[in-house]
Amino acid sequence: MPAQNSNRKVNPNNALGIYEGGENYDKADLRLWIENYAPYIPVDTIPELSSVDGGEGPVAEKNAGVEALLDITIAYELIYPQVINIFSVDVGTLPT
């Protein structure tokens, strides 16, 4: 992957929102992806969390989902250094 321009100006009032319902990422895998594929992103970078009905932030590796990590890594490739905001929803609280 080509190095991205991390000196781009970003709007502090703007963020990319990503919905994650019932699945989340873990910090260790995100860090590993950054180290291997996006070295222009600081390794401690994580999305902001907007919890909906008890939705969680980063979870333990054994509880993480591949789809959530894929969503985040693709988004960072496209918009870094813009902020990502994860809207994490506890799907167990949604009406059926």
**With 70 as the cut, is the pLDDT of residue 1 above it?**
no
The pTM assigned to this predicted structure is: 0.83
- The rounded distance, in Å, linking the Cα atoms of 44 and 89 is 23
Residues 6+ apart with CB under 8 A from 87: 17, 18, 19, 20, 50, 52, 55
User: pLDDT, tens digit, for every residue of 26-47?
Assistant: 999 999 999 999 999 999 999 9
Mean residue pLDDT across the chain: 88
- Dihedral, CA atoms, 78, 16, 74, 52, nearest 10 degrees? 170
Helix (H, G, I), strand (E, B) or coil at 32: helix
Token pair belonging to 87: 């809207």
Domain ranges for the chain: 15-84
Which of 7-11, 17-21, 35-39, 48-52 bottoms out in mean pLDDT, i.e. has the lowest? 7-11
